[in-house]
Structure 1
């Protein structure tokens, strides 16, 4: 009677290791497949997020109904195209209407509120002729999206032949660029949206030789290593007096970054929106429309950009 051969030690090892190797190989394949699936899903979500953000910051045409425009935007949030800043424009029969705003705070909450303001503006701006009423409409429609301490600074601007009409709710005042820089402070300051705004109308004469800068506080609150704010001096005036609007904004962004780099490393400590406009000769230079009685007295023109 023969005795069955007993497996040797190497045979036993093979019996144990073989299945383990097979399991490990299967696990590796499954993990690789999961990684590919996750990367594909992440790429798809990233693309959707990018398209969504680009829908919020629609590019403005270089010429909007006789108003030449140039825009620079930058989010302080890493990987984000937009933050709490917002801007947009519509073309009315009377001329272009612009909005620039800034939501208090950063991150997704600021983006959410920014989207709500833009949605309300796009819904009402083309049908509401009165800027003051439009400001109240925007305040009513975004109130439910704001927390107890949230608010939105807002600047509305209607460009008509020979002038611009402004409504400012707690926003940094625009700059009029002519022979000198003029800060267009509102004679009747209003709180921001969400804080019971009291908007009023301000009218300013605007000629083809002048430019106007609308911006958010990422421009005026840029600080250097000593905490000093960027001064609205001859350097800003020179930057904004470049030959083209795009060159002017490129110069201004460079000035802001050089000023702030020593303070926060890369100069990107806050969201930044710069919107530079200039009426084109022959399109927005018709007879100046009469100023309604509830408007402030227009300021006088300041002359050519090229003069010192």
Structure 2
């Protein structure tokens, strides 16, 4: 709206200048008289463009009569250009409305696929930050989701080959496959095999999907990692949880294995895609997680504050430059309340935050 007002002011001012040149200074310049409708055609409605065109024709007629020129010929020329400007404005406005409709549909479809994580699933508090490297895409190559199974909360974090809009098709397939099988398959290793089978028809010969599954149980988290960056356990220190036996990603013959890790109620789990560690500064140095500033950020009492502090560190490291890859960070912390009695909480009622323990 503000941009249109500026364009209207500019077109009106240009038309006023043209009228002054022709009527006040009495300098014939019939080409200058159509500058108002020509400017309006780029950003304003056909009605406004027509009004400025009518002003242009009137100014041209008055200027021609004072200069003794053929008023009818001048009026026809200016009217023809003004009519072209009106048609251009009408066509542009229709195209913009169609683009707005398509954009709304695309945003709605992406929002339906990339639902935000809840603040809590079962006995685990969650906070997530995701950003596509494509400014026009809500969903890129990073995929995350959470379900509550009969055994407890289950998290998915996956990274499709590619990024931005080009990876949306496969990302949507990953989400569909996970939502189809995750709630009913108790074994995360079998779930990884199932996802690989379901995604195989969607993947090309060189496509792949890195996968990290995290099943939360009392006192521990059970991980299945297929080619994904290792998560970090956040306590008194940061502890990378690299799998003892690495597995290839989905689509490249994965060999998923279960990794059981102690995770108490006072500790946190940081899951991330390689967009975090691939964020580089001006000297092409990657973002490091093994520094005190990162530990201090992740130790903030509230999970959203911890993520905000971490993303601020990333922004300072990159100097605010656009990221070259999609970025997703998920921070999870088991609560001290037993899962059987823990109430589900919405965005407006978070539990009392605690700092990570050892």
User: TM-score normalised to the size of structure 1?
Assistant: 0.83
Aligned Cα root-mean-square deviation (Å)? 2.4
The equivalent of 1:266 in structure 2 is 321
Instruction: Give the whole-Å Cα distance in 1 for the aligned partners of 2:164 and 2:281.
Output: 24
Whether 2:300 is the aligned partner of 1:242: answer: yes
Q: Give 1:306 shift.
A: 5.5
Higher helix share: 2
CA contact (8 A) 2:126 2:303 kept: yes
Q: How many residues align structurally?
A: 279
- The runs of 5 or more residues in structure 1 that have no matched partner are 1-9, 287-303
1:171 aligns with 2:262: no
Note the C-alpha offset of 1:177: 0.5
| TM superposition shift of 1:58 | 0.6
Deviation at 1:79, TM superposition (A): 2.1
Decide which of 240, 255, 264 is 2:313's aligned counterpart: 255
Alignment partner of 1:95 out of 146, 152, 175:
152
- TM-score scaled to structure 2, two decimals? 0.72
Uncovered stretches (5+) of structure 2, i.e. residues with no partner? 1-66, 342-353
Say which SS state the counterpart of residue 270 (structure 2) adopts. strand
1:26-67 deviations in Å (ceiling 9; x for gaps): 433332221111111111111111112222221111111121
The 1:125/1:307 distance shift into structure 2, 3 A limit, reads closer
The answer to whether the 8 A contact 1:90-1:97 is kept is: yes
- How far is 1:167 from its partner? 0.6
From 87, 97, 116, the equivalent of 1:59 is 116
- Do the aligned partners of residues 307 and 87 (structure 1) sit closer, same or farther apart at CA in structure 2, a change above 3 Å counting? closer
* Larger deviation, residues 25-34 vs 275-284: 25-34
Is 1:196 aligned with 2:238?
no
- Supply the distance in 2 between the matched residues of 1:94 and 1:257 (Cα, whole angstroms): 38
Shift of 1:25: 4.4
Contact 1:100 1:155 in 2 (8 A): yes
The CA distance in 2 between the partners of 1:156 and 1:306, in whole Å, is 22
Distance of 1:272 and 1:108 partners within structure 2: 14
User: How far has the Cα of 1:269 moved from its partner?
Assistant: 2.4
Cα–Cα, structure 1 residues 306 and 25, in superposed 2: closer, same or farther, change >3 Å? closer
**Conserved in 2, the CA contact under 8 Å of 1:258 and 1:267?**
no
Equivalent residues of 1:257, 1:268 under 8 A apart = no
**How far off is 1:16 after superposition?**
5.5
Larger Rg: 2
Q: Which has the higher contact order (CA 8 A, sep 6+)?
A: 1
